[in-house]
Amino acid sequence: MRSYSLIAPAKINLHLEILGDRVDGYHELAMLMQSIDLADTIDLHPLSTDIIRVHCNHPLVPPDKGNLAYKAAQLMVEEFPEVFARFGGVEITINKQIPVAAGLAGGSTDAAAVLVGLDMMWQLGLTRPELQELGAKLGSDIPFCLTGGTAIATGRGEEIDSLLGIDSFYVVLGKYRRLTISTAWAYQTYRTQFGHSYVRNAERLASSAARVHSGPLVKAMINKDGVQIGQLLHNDLEKVVLPTTPQVAQLKEAFQNTGALGTMMSGSGPTVFALCESEAQALEVQHQVRVAIPDPDLDFWVSKFSNQGIQLASPVS
């Protein structure tokens, strides 16, 4: 049986709108998601025993059952017990490049890579919608991570409508190394503060979600109009994170002062990104913010939009 090496890209949100509550306890969302080429590498090696083993080079990522990549393998075992009995276990090695608990879907993309890798290793021949359905059982961002590129995500984020791939823009990501934000905390706090304004009528919920499809941001994306995209970036979760986390607010302001096309917090943060039209502009923006905030705890990455989700790096023997 072959081993596989997969590339698992991070995502940013260009639009994140919280529409209302769902009966399953999640939020009803309308998002525009974008893959970037900052990526983890996931190696899968078959084992002759019936064990799932996880290794990761990052101290904050659990190398055990708590790892989303482990959970993805466990789900495949439960869904395909006979195939597992025939082929045996798997050793998963995560080379973590995506910052952890950063609003960049690092865990979700690793889990998506494991679903794709085991589908190939166990020769299951699953279709993309079948993989997305499995992924949605584990996490709302996983269906997007599988397909990647540019997509509208609705429902709790698992209903994906892909747009024509856009890969011409760059982003600078800034994140304080020791600052992490719990996604659950951000959404719960939002519900406490803004729940009174949630849309409760099913028809209005559907029309609010549809508004994103025909809205100005999607038009600007299709036209590759960087100035418009920069002006239309939107994230509801900034309303709870910026007032409580001054470092994030200050970082956003520093990015704003550089003349980048636009700047916003990604997902539940604390990563802030600046949208740039070229790599040269991104490097200049990074330099200016490094000078404005000379804190050694502040890390930067320059990354390009990517029109791909999980990809095979190379089949290893």
| Nearest distance, CB of residue 235 and ligand ATP, angstroms | 12
| Residue 11 annotated in active site | yes
Location of structure tokens 């078959």: 46
Asked if 254 and 294 touch (Cβ cutoff 8 Å), the reply is no
Where is 237: in which H helix or E strand? none
> Is residue 8 a contact point for ligand ATP (CB under 6 A)?
no
- Listed residue (265, 272, 301) closest to 40, CA to CA: 301
> Is residue 63 a contact point for ligand ATP (CB under 6 A)?
no
Candidates 102, 113, 152, 212; binder of ligand ATP (CB under 6 A) is: 102
Where is 239: in which H helix or E strand? helix 238-244
Name the residue nearer to ligand ATP (CB basis): 181 or 260.
181
Query: Which residue among the candidates 43, 110, 119, 141 is catalytic per the annotation?
Result: 141
> Is residue 38 a contact point for ligand ATP (CB under 6 A)?
no
Cα distance between residue 143 and residue 158, in whole Å? 6
Record the tokens describing residue 284, joined without a space: 């200049």
10 Å Cβ neighbour count for 205?
19
> Is residue 179 a contact point for ligand ATP (CB under 6 A)?
no
Count interface residues toward ligand ATP (CB under 6 A): 22
What CA–CA distances, in Å, run from 286 to 12, 98, 251, 281? 17, 18, 11, 9
Candidates 51, 60, 202, 316; binder of ligand ATP (CB under 6 A) is: 60
> Is residue 150 a contact point for ligand ATP (CB under 6 A)?
no
| Residue 141 annotated in active site | yes
Show the binding pattern over residues 255-284: x = contacts ligand ATP (CB under 6 A), - = does not.
Answer: ------------xx----------------
Cα distance between residue 199 and residue 206, in whole Å? 10
Name the residue nearer to ligand ATP (CB basis): 24 or 82.
24
Strand, coil or helix: what is 310? coil
Q: Which residues are catalytic?
A: 11, 141
Q: Which residues bind ligand ATP (CB under 6 A)?
A: 60-62, 66-69, 94, 100-108, 110, 141, 183, 267-268
